[in-house]
Structure 1
Amino acid sequence: MNIVFAISEVEDLVKTGGLADVGKALPLALLDAGEQISIIMPYYNAIADEYKLADACAQQTLFAEGKVYHYNIKQLSWQGLNIYFIDYPEYFARDGLYSSTYEAYQDNAERFSFFCGAALNALQALSIQPDIIHCHDWHTAMLPFLLRFDQSGYFNQTKTVFTIHNAAFQGVHKLDDIPYLRHHPAILSQIHGGYINMLQSGIEFATKVTTVSPNYAKELLTDLGSHGLHDRLVMRQQDLSGILNGCDYGQWNPQDDAYLPQNYSVDTLHDKKTCKLALQELSHLPQNPDVPLLGMVCRLTEQKGFGYLVPILQDLMHHNVQMVIVGTGDPTVCMDLDEFAQNHPQQFAFINGFSTHHAHLVEAGADFFLMPSQFEPCGLNQMYSLAYGTLPIVRSVGGLKDTVIDQCQDKEHATGFVFDAPTPEALLACIRRALLFYYEHPVQFREMQIRGMQTRFTWEASAESYLALYRTMI
C-alpha cells in the first residue's frame, strides 16, 4: 500500500508533545512491515535551520478568495522515509509551531487549512497517488473535507484515516478568519454560528476515524468524554476504533539508557537504587535509598490532574515520602508547586522546565510515577515507567485504563495502582495504598516491578492493527 502521513510534527524534527512520537514511530513501523510510506508536514523554522533542503519540484501555486499562495515543496530522505515539507514562510517560518510562548497564533486555522490544501496539491505535483492518507489531529482535519470535494479526479481511489490524539483540541475558529476556506463551495455545511470546528469536519469526512486507545474510543462516545463531539462520533460509531499507541523501547530502556548513571535490567534491579540516589542529588533532596520516591514529568495543565494533586500535597508530606515534579506550563500551577517546594525542601522538589536527562532520571530513579489525569487519550509515561520498574499511580481513564492493572483488581497480573473518582481524596487514598504496599510487601513490590518491566506495548503491534484497518478500506 502507498500510505501518506499528513501530520504537523515528527519527533527528532520538531516536537511539542506525544503527537510527534506517533509521527515518527508509526511510519517507521509501517515501513518495516513492507509498506510504501511518506510523510508530508509544514516546513518550520526549526527544520529549515537544521536541514538545508532542495526543492522536490517546481514552485506551486494555489488560489483562494483572490489570495495567491506561492509555495515550494522540500524533500528529505530520513531513516528510509521520504518526508515532504510545505514551504510557505509567511505561515511556517516562525519560532513556534502553534504559538509564541503561551499565546496561540491568531491565524492557526488559516495556516493549517492552507497546509491541508497544499498537501493535496503537492501529492499531485509529486505524482504520488496514495491508497491511504492518514491525517492526525485538528491541524490536518480539513484534508478529508477538501479531498471529498476535490474535482481533479486524482484522488478517486484514495481513502482517509483521521486519528484523534486529543479531542480537547478541536480547532474552533471563525470562518471569516480563514481566507483559504472562506469561499469553498461546500464550506457552509461546516459552519455553525459563524464558526467552524475542524476536528468535527475531520470526523465527518474521513473514511475511518481512529483514536489512540480502545478505552478512549469508548469515552469519546459519551457526552462527558467527547468534549462536546458525542453526537458526531456516535453517528460514525461503526467507523470508529481505538488502536493503542506503542512505546519506543529504543529510547526508553533502562538496560542501555545513556542518561542513567547506572543501567539495570530485571536481573540487576538492585542497581535501580543508584539512579534513585542520583535523582535525589540532582533534585537537592536528602539521599536515602529506602524512602519511597514519587515522580511526575508532564505539562503542567489541569488535564494532567493538578486539580487533584495540589490540594493533597500537604497531607502527603505527613508521610515518610519524597516527591519530584518536572514540567512547565500553567503559570499558576508553577507558582503553587514552586512555593510548596520552598516550604518543604526535604521532601518535595519542583523543576520548572524540561530536560531529557531529568525526564529519564525520574523514570529510572522514582519508585512510583504519578499520572492522575482528568483524561488521557493514551499516555506514554506510564509505559516508560513500567519499562523502568517504576510503578504507575494512575486514574482509570483513556489509555491509562488499558495499560495499567491495579494491585487490588488482579494481584497476579498487577502492574500499578489505579483510582476512579475525579477527586483529591481518591488520589490521596490511592497513593497511601501504594505507600503501604511499598513498606509492608517488599517482595510483592519487587515482583510487580519485574512484571511491569516485562510488559511490552510495541509499535509493531500498533502497525499491524493499522494495516488491518487500511486493508478493510481498499
Structure 2
Amino acid sequence: MATKKLSILFVASEVEGLIKSGGLADVAKALPESLLGLKQDVRLAIPAYSQIAGIENAEVLLDTQLDTAPHTQYQVVQTEVAGVPVYAIRCEQYFARAEMYAENNQAYSDNAERFAFFSAASLDMLPKLSFQPQIIHANDWHTGLVPYFLKVRHQSDDFFKSMRSVISIHNAVFKGVFSYDELQAFPEFATRHVPEAAVSETHVTMLKAGVMCADKINAVSPTYAEELKTELGSHGMSHEFNTREDDLIGILNGCDYSSWNPETDTYLPKNYRATKQSMIRGKKANRQALQDEVGLPVKDVAVYGMVCRLTQQKGVHYLLPILNEFLKHDVQLVIVGTGDPVLAAQLKEVAALHGEKFAFVEAYNNKLAHWVEAGSDFFLMPSEFEPCGLNQIYSMAYGTLPIVRGVGGLKDSVNDYDECPEKATGFVFTKPTSDALLMTLLRSLLLHAQDIAEVRRLQIEAMKQNFCWDKAAEHYLSMYRSAL
C-alpha cells in the first residue's frame, strides 16, 4: 500500500515474548510485528511486570508522575519484542508481584486501580516522550479506560485532539467489573457518575467504558462480531454492541506460523510438509512418539487430540457425557490441559476405565501440545463460544482435521466435509449438545475407516490454508484509516 504511514500505540496487558497467559499475548506480539513489516510506526505499551526477563536492567526513558490525580509516581523503561519498541510502565506498588492478575485463583484486590493507572499512564507518558500516535489500540477490559480517558480527560488538549482509539474484544466474558469504591483515586470515578461505564448505581465495567468511548470496536472474527450483538454471545452487553454496531468490525486473527509449522517445528520428532508422502511419514512418526509419551499402545488407529483450558467455554462438558460411548470404537484420544478441578477429576475417571484408548495429561505442556497437533488425525474444539480460536488454525497447518462447533472464529475458519467436500478442512456441528458432538465424531471416524485416501486429501487441503498475519494487518490498517 502506497498510502501514508500511520503511527500506532498498541496497549496490552500481556505480550508473547515478554509475558503471557493467553491468546491476547499472541495477538499483541504478532499484529504489531506485521504492522511493522508493513512499514508502519508501531510501538507497544505494557506494564513492567517484575517477571519480564531482564526488565530490571532496561533503559529508563522517563521518571515522572501522573499529571492528574492520583499523581502516581512511575517510570517508563524501554525494551523490544520482534523489532517493535516497547514502553514498559514501571510502578512497583502495582506490578512488582508474583503474577499478572491473580494468585492461587484469587484476583488481586486492587486490579481496578492497577489497570486504571496503567491506562492513564499509557496516555500521560506520550507528550513526555514526544510520541504522538494517530491511533491508540486498546485490548480487552484491562485497557478499556484508555479510550475513556482519551475522550473524557484529554479531549480538549491540543496534543491529544487528533488521536483516535480502537478497542479489540478478545473475550467479552471478562469485563473488568468493579465498584466505584475501588476507583475513588481517579477523579472521574470519584463523582460516582460515569454513564459510559456504569452497569448499576454502584458498579462499572472497564470493557463497557472502552466500547462506548472508542472510535472503532474490533472483534477477533467476523462471526464473533455478529455474536456480540446477541445477549448470549455478548454475555450481557448486547445493548452496547448494538448501539455501536456501525463501528463494530470483525477481523479474523492471523496465525504466527513461525512457532507453528510442521516443516520447522523444533519440538517434533519428525518434521514434514504438505505433500502426501512427507505428511503420511511425518504424522506416523509423530503419532508413535505421542502414543509412547502418554502411555497408549503404539498402533495404527484414528487418533483424536485436544489441548485446552479445562473450562465450560472449551466445551469439555459436551464431551464428558459421550466419552464412554465414543471410546467403544477403535480409536485413541489424548487430552492435555489444566483448569477446573471438577472437570479434571471426571476426565481422570474415564481415563482410568479406558487406559488402552484414552490418555489425559493434566498439565500445561508446550512440547506435548505440538506433539498432539502433529501426531493426531483429528483435533477437538467443541467450544461453547470461541471469539477466534488458534488451535484449529494450528491443527490445519499440521494436517490434523479440526472438529469444531460452528461459533465465532471456528465457523469462519473451518469448512465442513458434509457441507462442501471439495473445499473441506474439517468437521463442523452447530447444536450445543453432546449428541451433536458424538454424531460429528462418528462422521469423522467413519470416513477414516472407509476412505483413508479421502482423509489424506482433506489433510493436505487443510495444510494449504493460510491465515497469515499480513492479511489481517491490512484489514486493521483499513480500520485505523476509517477511524481517522
Please indicate, yes or no, whether the TM-score normalized by the shorter chain is above 0.5: yes
Partner AA of 2:19 in structure 1: V
The CA deviation at 1:193 is 2.4
Equivalent position of 1:27 in the other structure: 32
Q: What is the root-mean-square deviation of aligned Cα atoms in Å?
A: 1.4
Counterpart of 1:461 (choices 471, 478, 483) is 471
Distance 1:50 1:356, change over 3 A: farther
Distance 1:157 1:68, change over 3 A: closer
Counterpart of 1:188 (choices 185, 194, 198) is 194
**Are 2:124 and 1:136 aligned?**
no
Distance 1:62 1:328, change over 3 A: farther
**Are 2:148 and 1:145 aligned?**
yes
- Work out the percentage of aligned pairs sharing the same amino acid: 46
Partner AA of 1:129 in structure 2: Q
The CA deviation string for residues 268-307 of structure 1, in whole angstroms up to 9 with x for no partner, is 112210000000011110011x211110111110000011
What SS does structure 1 have at the residue aligned with 2:256? coil
Contact 2:305 2:334 in 1 (8 A): yes
TM-score by length of 1: 0.97
Contact 1:175 1:181 in 2 (8 A): no
Q: Which moved more, 1:374-383 or 1:320-329?
A: 320-329
Equivalent position of 1:292 in the other structure: 302
Q: Take 2:51 and 2:149, find their aligned partners in 1: how far apart are those partners?
A: 28
Report 1:372-391 matches (<5 A): 372-391=382-401
Equivalent position of 2:414 in the other structure: 404
Report 1:281-430 matches (<5 A): 281-288=292-299, 290-430=300-440
Report 1:39-438 matches (<5 A): 39-47=44-52, 52-64=57-69, 67-149=70-152, 150=154, 151-181=156-186, 183-184=188-189, 187-189=193-195, 190-191=197-198, 192-267=200-275, 268-271=278-281, 272-288=283-299, 290-438=300-448
Contact 1:107 1:178 in 2 (8 A): no
The CA deviation at 1:188 is 2.7
Q: Take 1:51 and 1:357, find their aligned partners in 2: how far apart are those partners?
A: 29
Structure 1 unaligned blocks of 5 or more: none
Contact 1:129 1:154 in 2 (8 A): yes
Distance 1:442 1:386, change over 3 A: same
Equivalent position of 2:3 in the other structure: none
Contact 1:9 1:41 in 2 (8 A): yes
Contact 1:300 1:327 in 2 (8 A): yes
Contact 2:379 2:403 in 1 (8 A): yes
Q: Take 2:104 and 2:286, find their aligned partners in 1: how far apart are those partners?
A: 33
Contact 1:114 1:180 in 2 (8 A): no
Q: Take 1:180 and 1:323, find their aligned partners in 2: how far apart are those partners?
A: 52
Q: Which moved more, 1:155-164 or 1:223-232?
A: 223-232
Contact 1:389 1:452 in 2 (8 A): yes
The CA deviation at 1:225 is 1.1
Q: Take 2:12 and 2:301, find their aligned partners in 1: how far apart are those partners?
A: 44
The CA deviation at 1:334 is 1.2
Partner AA of 2:476 in structure 1: Y
The CA deviation at 1:473 is 2.2
Structure 2 unaligned blocks of 5 or more: 1-5
The CA deviation string for residues 82-140 of structure 1, in whole angstroms up to 9 with x for no partner, is 10011011111111111113111121111101110011111121111010000000000
The CA deviation at 1:353 is 1.0
